[in-house]
Chain A
Amino acid sequence: MDFAWSDQQRELLDAVGRFAREQLDYDVIENDRKAIFNHEAWRKCGDFGIQGLLVPTEYGGLGQDPLTTVAVLERLGYACKDNGLLFSINAHMWTAVSPLVNNGTEAQKQKFLPGLCNGTLIGGNAMSEPNSGSDAFALATTATKTGDKYILNGSKIFITNGPVADLLVVFANVDKSRGADGVTAFIVEKGMPGFDPSHKIEKMGVRTSPMSEVFFENCEVPAENLLGKEGGGAFLFTRSLTWERGCILASAVGSMQRLLEKCIRYANERRQGGQSIGKFQQVATKIVEMKMRVESARHMLYHFGWVAGHRKAVYLEAAMTKLHIADAWVKCAEDAIQIHGGYGYMTEYEVERELRDAIGAKLYSGTSEIQRNIIASLIGL
Chain B
Amino acid sequence: MTQPIAKILVAFKSVPDPYEEAAPGGSGSTAKSVINPFDEIAIEEALRIRERGEATEIVGLTIGPATVDEQVRAAMAMGVDRAIRIDDSRALDPYAVARILHAAVQKEAPQVVLMGKQAVDDDSNQAGQMLAGLLGWPQATFVSKVEFLDNGDRARCTRETDAGLEVLEVKLPAIITTDLRLNEPRYVSLPGLMKARKKPIEVLTCEQLGVQVEPLTTTISTARPPKRTAGTRVESVEELVAKLKEEAKVL
Q: Show the binding face of A for B, using Cβ within 8 Å.
A: 7-8, 10-12, 14-16, 18-19, 21-23, 47-50, 53, 62, 72
| Given known contacts A21-B19, A62-B194, A48 and B189 CB-to-CB distance under 8 angstroms | yes
Please name the residue on chain A nearest to B19 by beta carbon.
Answer: A21
Indicate whether B191 reaches chain A with its CB closer than 8 angstroms. yes
Indicate whether B70 reaches chain A with its CB closer than 8 angstroms. yes
Considering the chains assembled together, what is the distance between the CA atoms of A48 and B74 in angstroms? Answer: 13
| Given known contacts A21-B19, A62-B194, A11 and B73 CB-to-CB distance under 8 angstroms | yes
Considering the chains assembled together, what is the distance between the CA atoms of A50 and B190 in angstroms? Answer: 8
Considering the chains assembled together, what is the distance between the CA atoms of A22 and B186 in angstroms? Answer: 10
Considering the chains assembled together, what is the distance between the CA atoms of A21 and B32 in angstroms? Answer: 15
User: What B residues does A72 contact at CB under 8 A?
Assistant: 190
User: What A residues does B194 contact at CB under 8 A?
Assistant: 62
Within the complex, which residue of A8, A21, A47 is in contact with B189, where a contact is CB–CB below 8 Å? A47
Per-residue A-contact encoding for B170-199, CB less than 8 Å = 1, 0 else? 000000000000000001111101100100
Interface of A: prevailing SS: helix
Please name the residue on chain A nearest to B70 by beta carbon.
Answer: A11
- Smallest distance from the beta carbon of B2 to chain A beta carbons, Å? 32
Q: Is the CB of A49 within 8 A of B190?
A: yes
- Smallest distance from the beta carbon of B196 to chain A beta carbons, Å? 9
Q: Is the CB of B187 within 8 A of A19?
A: yes
Q: Is the CB of B190 within 8 A of A62?
A: yes
Per-residue A-contact encoding for B70-102, CB less than 8 Å = 1, 0 else? 100110010000000000000000000000000
User: What B residues does A18 contact at CB under 8 A?
Assistant: 34, 187-188
Please name the residue on chain B nearest to A63 by beta carbon.
Answer: B194
User: What A residues does B197 contact at CB under 8 A?
Assistant: 8
| Given known contacts A8-B197, A12-B193, A62-B194, A19 and B188 CB-to-CB distance under 8 angstroms | yes
User: What A residues does B193 contact at CB under 8 A?
Assistant: 11-12, 15
- Smallest distance from the beta carbon of A333 to chain B beta carbons, Å? 25
User: What B residues does A10 contact at CB under 8 A?
Assistant: 70
Q: Show the binding face of B for A, using Cβ within 8 Å.
A: 19, 32, 34, 70, 73-74, 77, 187-191, 193-194, 197
Within the complex, which residue of B32, B70, B74, B191 is in contact with A49, where a contact is CB–CB below 8 Å? B191
- Smallest distance from the beta carbon of B162 to chain A beta carbons, Å? 29
- Smallest distance from the beta carbon of A15 to chain B beta carbons, Å? 5
Question: Closest 9 CB pairs between A and B?
Answer: A49-B190, A48-B189, A19-B187, A15-B188, A49-B191, A49-B189, A62-B190, A15-B193, A11-B193
User: What B residues does A14 contact at CB under 8 A?
Assistant: 32, 70
- Smallest distance from the beta carbon of A261 to chain B beta carbons, Å? 11
Residue picked from A7, A8, A18, most chain B C-beta under 10 Å: A18
User: What A residues does B32 contact at CB under 8 A?
Assistant: 14
Please name the residue on chain B nearest to A57 by beta carbon.
Answer: B194
User: What B residues does A50 contact at CB under 8 A?
Assistant: 190
User: What A residues does B34 contact at CB under 8 A?
Assistant: 18
User: What B residues does A8 contact at CB under 8 A?
Assistant: 197
- Smallest distance from the beta carbon of B69 to chain A beta carbons, Å? 9
User: What B residues does A62 contact at CB under 8 A?
Assistant: 190-191, 194
Q: Is the CB of B187 within 8 A of A7?
A: no
| Given known contacts A11-B70, A14-B32, A15-B74, A48 and B19 CB-to-CB distance under 8 angstroms | no
Considering the chains assembled together, what is the distance between the CA atoms of A11 and B189 in angstroms? Answer: 11
User: What B residues does A12 contact at CB under 8 A?
Assistant: 190, 193
Q: Is the CB of B70 within 8 A of A22?
A: no
User: What B residues does A19 contact at CB under 8 A?
Assistant: 187-189
Q: Is the CB of A23 within 8 A of B187?
A: yes
23 chain-A/chain-B pairs, Cβ below 8 angstroms: A7-B70, A11-B70, A11-B73, A11-B193, A12-B193, A14-B32, A14-B70, A15-B77, A15-B187, A15-B189, A15-B190, A18-B187, A18-B188, A19-B188, A19-B189, A23-B187, A47-B189, A48-B187, A48-B189, A49-B189, A49-B190, A53-B190, A62-B190
- Smallest distance from the beta carbon of B233 to chain A beta carbons, Å? 20
User: What A residues does B74 contact at CB under 8 A?
Assistant: 11, 15
Besides A7-B70, A11-B74, A49-B190, 14 new A-B residue pairs in contact (Cβ under 8 A), listed by A number: A11-B73, A12-B190, A15-B74, A15-B187, A15-B188, A15-B193, A19-B189, A21-B19, A48-B187, A49-B191, A50-B190, A53-B190, A62-B190, A62-B191
User: What A residues does B77 contact at CB under 8 A?
Assistant: 15
Please name the residue on chain A nearest to B69 by beta carbon.
Answer: A7
Considering the chains assembled together, what is the distance between the CA atoms of A330 and B167 in angstroms? Answer: 58
User: What B residues does A16 contact at CB under 8 A?
Assistant: 190
Considering the chains assembled together, what is the distance between the CA atoms of A19 and B32 in angstroms? Answer: 15
User: What B residues does A23 contact at CB under 8 A?
Assistant: 187
Considering the chains assembled together, what is the distance between the CA atoms of A48 and B77 in angstroms? Answer: 11
User: What B residues does A21 contact at CB under 8 A?
Assistant: 19
- Smallest distance from the beta carbon of A188 to chain B beta carbons, Å? 29
User: What B residues does A49 contact at CB under 8 A?
Assistant: 189-191
User: What A residues does B73 contact at CB under 8 A?
Assistant: 11
Please name the residue on chain A nearest to B34 by beta carbon.
Answer: A18
Considering the chains assembled together, what is the distance between the CA atoms of A49 and B192 in angstroms? Answer: 9
Residue picked from B19, B32, B194, B197, most chain A C-beta under 10 Å: B194
Please name the residue on chain A nearest to B187 by beta carbon.
Answer: A19
| Given known contacts A8-B197, A14-B32, A48 and B70 CB-to-CB distance under 8 angstroms | no
Considering the chains assembled together, what is the distance between the CA atoms of A232 and B65 in angstroms? Answer: 56
Considering the chains assembled together, what is the distance between the CA atoms of A23 and B189 in angstroms? Answer: 12
Within the complex, which residue of B187, B189, B190, B191 is in contact with A22, where a contact is CB–CB below 8 Å? B187
Considering the chains assembled together, what is the distance between the CA atoms of A19 and B193 in angstroms? Answer: 13
- Smallest distance from the beta carbon of B7 to chain A beta carbons, Å? 27
Considering the chains assembled together, what is the distance between the CA atoms of A72 and B77 in angstroms? Answer: 17
Considering the chains assembled together, what is the distance between the CA atoms of A21 and B19 in angstroms? Answer: 10
- Smallest distance from the beta carbon of B186 to chain A beta carbons, Å? 10
User: What A residues does B187 contact at CB under 8 A?
Assistant: 15, 18-19, 22-23, 48
